[in-house]
Amino acid sequence: MLIIQCCKHKTVKNCIFCQIVKGKIPANFVYQDKDLVAFQDINPIAPVHILIIPRKHIVGIQTIQDKDQRILGKMLLVAKKLAEQNKLKGYKLVINCGKLGGQRVLHLHFHLVGGWKDLKKYHQWIEERFREGGVL
């Protein structure tokens, strides 16, 4: 898919998601507009696992400001649209906030995860993942 590059947004040199936004690291994009991109998670935990991120480098919910309100609202609307496109009847929107919240990539992202036939499978996966010391 064509990557629409957008130079007006502030990006950070050694941030992996800024590199994805700039097209310097490949990703499987499923949505793009002037403010946001969404792409498939490289290590999916569910049949559908999409990351929705702003083009602009925002560290996380822990650093958002009033001026980010429009973009944050848009991220939710895009999440809903992508859930509909993927015909998800139910799903989770997960936002890890800060290192102690399990956030490994310090560029704001929503995880849209779903597509399990049975929610029990998700719970089993979560248990295993945490037992192994992992995070979502």
Residues within the interface to ligand AMP (CB under 6 A): 16, 25, 27, 41-43, 51, 96, 102-105, 135
Q: Would you say 91 and 81 are in contact if contact means Cβ atoms under 8 Å apart?
A: no
Q: Considering beta carbons, is residue 45 or 105 the nearer one to Zn ion?
A: 105
CA 46 – CA 113 distance, rounded (Å): 6
CA 108 – CA 79 distance, rounded (Å): 14
In the numeric block, which tokens belong to residue 76? Answer: 């939710």
Catalytic site residue from 49, 57, 107, 109:
109
Q: How far is the CB of 6 from ligand AMP (least distance, A)?
A: 19
Q: Considering beta carbons, is residue 6 or 19 the nearer one to ligand AMP?
A: 19
- Is 109 catalytic? The answer is yes
Q: Is 107 in the site for Zn ion (CB under 5 A)?
A: yes
Question: From its phi and psi, is residue 133 left (phi > 0), alpha (psi between -120 and 50) or beta?
Answer: left
3-state class (DSSP) for residue 125? helix
Q: How much is the CA Rg of the chain, to the nearest whole Å?
A: 15
Among 3, 6, 15, 94, binds Zn ion (CB under 5 A): 15
| Residues designated catalytic | 109
List contacts with Zn ion (CB under 5 A). Answer: 12, 15, 17-18, 57, 107
